[in-house]
Amino acid sequence: MLDPLEVAAEPNRRRLLQLLAGGERTVTDLAGSFTVSRSAISQHLLLLEQAGLVTARKEGRNRFYAVNPDGMARLRQLFEQFWTSELDQLVADATTYRRT
C-alpha cells in the first residue's frame, strides 16, 4: 500500500479528494475541473485508490469514485500523529532556546 500522506500531498490529488467529498463522481465529471487530461486524472485516482483514500465501482462503461471513509480516517490519524510530534519538538526546542 502507498503512503497516504505522500499521495494526498500532490495538489491535483488533494483537489480530487475535495471534489469527491461532495459525493461519488465519474472520471469524466472530475476531469472537467482540471486542465490536465482525463488520462492524468485516471492515474491520480488510481494512486488515491491504491493508497486506500478512494474507492471505485464500475457501472457499465463508467467508473464511479468516492472517498473511502476508513482511508480518510487513517490519513487524518497519520497527520495528527505527525503534527503532534512536530509540535512537541517545537516546544522542546523553544524551551532549550530559552535556557541558553
DSSP 44-75: HHHHHHHTTSEEEEEETTEEEEEE-HHHHHHH
In the predicted model, is pLDDT for residue 90 greater than 90? no
pTM, two decimal places: 0.80
Alpha-carbon distances, residue 70 vs 3, 53, 76 (angstroms) = 14, 8, 10
Which grid cell is 54? 478512494
pLDDT digits 0-9 by tens, 28-86: 999 999 999 999 999 999 999 999 999 999 999 999 999 999 999 999 998 888 777 77
Q: What separation in angstroms does the CA of 47 have from each of 1, 12, 54, 59? A: 10, 11, 9, 20
